[in-house]
Amino acid sequence: MMTPKALVAGNWKMNGLKASTQEITRLNDLINTSGAKCDVLICPPFTLISTFAGLGAENVAIGAQDCHMNVSGAHTGDISAEMVVELGCKHIIVGHSERRADHGENNDVVNAKAAAAQNEGATAIICVGETIEEREAGKALDVVISQVKASIPQSATASNTIIAYEPVWAIGSGHTPTVMDVQEMHKAVREVLMSRFGASGAGIKILYGGSVKASNAPELMSVPNVNGALVGGASLKADDFYGIISAYDEIG
Ligand code: PGA
């Protein structure tokens, strides 16, 4: 079975000013010196994309945290996929639970944003995940599977789609699901991808996100069908983030 190359992606959320550029330079240097067995991506706020992409840091791809569903038009304050692709982004996160919660984005909106990203030639990192209430009610699998099915657009192919499973209650909380729970969820997501995309569904990365740090990364990243991580807090400092990237030295 084709196993995709792992991706460790950082989501900086609403953090970072120009001074943070040194973290990208440092991360690039760490990878130059000590290597990385996975692909590495940083998604800074929109305001830093141009600066970071302009560094020419060959080991660190730069992506975006969101895009509008339309190509252009009267949408004050919004940013289109075409705009971030022009800056050098090849990945765009869509449907993060903070966007779903803070901006009322439902699966239809996420689906349209993923399509917008893919139509510009970018890979959509489509985020899904259950709340604590949904998990405690035994509905986690159903919720996540229906999010995955409804959020993947018609334009999706195995090469322009990544899924990030991020339990809402694990984000920024220091809590993570058990290895068994992660394994069960990623297996279920893989089955959806295989039924949608056929054999090529095996090559779609399924990232785990939510309180990933250097100390738990080796265990979480070793779970079958976990093809990398989406990291918030621990991605802001190059040394912390490199500790997660290094998990792949142990896993091989
Ligand atoms: P966290 O965030 O690593 O700080 O928990 C993950 C995310 O929201 O992508």
Query: Per-residue pLDDT for 252 more than 70?
Result: no
The gap between the terminal CA atoms of the chain, to the nearest Å, is 17
pTM of the prediction?
0.98
What is the average pLDDT across 28-46?
98
To the nearest 10°, report the CA torsion of 108, 70, 11, 156: 60
Residue 171 beta carbon below 6 angstroms from any ligand 1 atom: yes
Confidence of residue 250 (pLDDT cuts 50, 70, 90): confident
Model pLDDT, residue 251: 82
Nearest-CA residue for atom 7 of ligand 1: 232
Q: How far, in Å, from the CA of 141 to the mean position of ligand 1?
A: 20
Spatial separation of the C-alpha atoms in residues 132 and 137, rounded to whole Å: 8
pLDDT above 70 covers what percent of the chain? 99
Q: Please provide the average confidence, as pLDDT, over all residues in the chain.
A: 97
Residue 129 beta carbon below 6 angstroms from any ligand 1 atom: no
* Cβ atoms of 151 and 111 closer than 8 Å: yes
pLDDT (tens digit per residue) in 38-90: 999 999 999 999 999 999 999 999 999 999 999 999 999 999 999 999 999 99
What is the average pLDDT across 87-111?
98
Model pLDDT, residue 1: 55
What is the average pLDDT across 159-172?
98
For the annotated catalytic residues, the residue numbers are: 96, 166
CATH superfamily membership of 7-251:
Aldolase class I (3.20.20.70)
H or E, element range at 208: strand 206-209
Query: Per-residue pLDDT for 231 more than 60?
Result: yes
Spatial separation of the C-alpha atoms in residues 61 and 41, rounded to whole Å: 5
Residue 205 DSSP label: -
What is the average pLDDT across 125-130?
98
* Alpha helices (H) along 54-106: 81-86, 97-102
Q: Which of 231, 235, 236, 237 has the most ligand 1 atoms within 8 A of CB, as the residue to mutate?
A: 231
pLDDT above 90 covers what percent of the chain? 97
